[in-house]
Amino acid sequence: MRFDVRKNRKLTIYPTFTRLVMAGDLSKPDAILCACESFWDGGIEWAVRNGYDCMENRRIPF
């Protein structure tokens, strides 16, 4: 089954995240961290809303 982005609501942070990367504006660690955290949170929210289970119960070994 192929995923069609057009049929799903866009992640709201995606434009901010990609704008930083595409512009090469990677000199501000705080802005990058904020964009990445927001992107991840938006992805989790989207996955839950669309019925995807992306939680891992195993502990990270460090």
Per-residue model confidence as pLDDT tens digits over 3-24 = 555 555 555 556 787 888 889 9
Q: Would residue 36 count as lying in a domain?
A: yes
Q: Would residue 58 count as lying in a domain?
A: no
Domain range for 42 is 12-21+28-46
Output the pLDDT for position 57. 75
Residue-by-residue DSSP string for 34-47: HHHHHHHHHHHHHH
Q: Would residue 41 count as lying in a domain?
A: yes
Output the pLDDT for position 45. 84
Alpha-carbon distances, residue 58 vs 21, 37, 55, 62 (angstroms): 31, 21, 9, 12
pLDDT single digits (tens) 31-44: 888 888 888 888 88
Q: Would residue 6 count as lying in a domain?
A: no
CA atoms of 32 and 51, how far apart (whole Å): 28
pLDDT bin (cut points 50, 70, 90) of residue 27 is very high
Alpha-carbon distances, residue 21 vs 4, 24, 40, 45 (angstroms): 23, 5, 15, 22
How many structural domains does the chain have? Answer: 1
Q: Would residue 34 count as lying in a domain?
A: yes
Output the pLDDT for position 9. 52
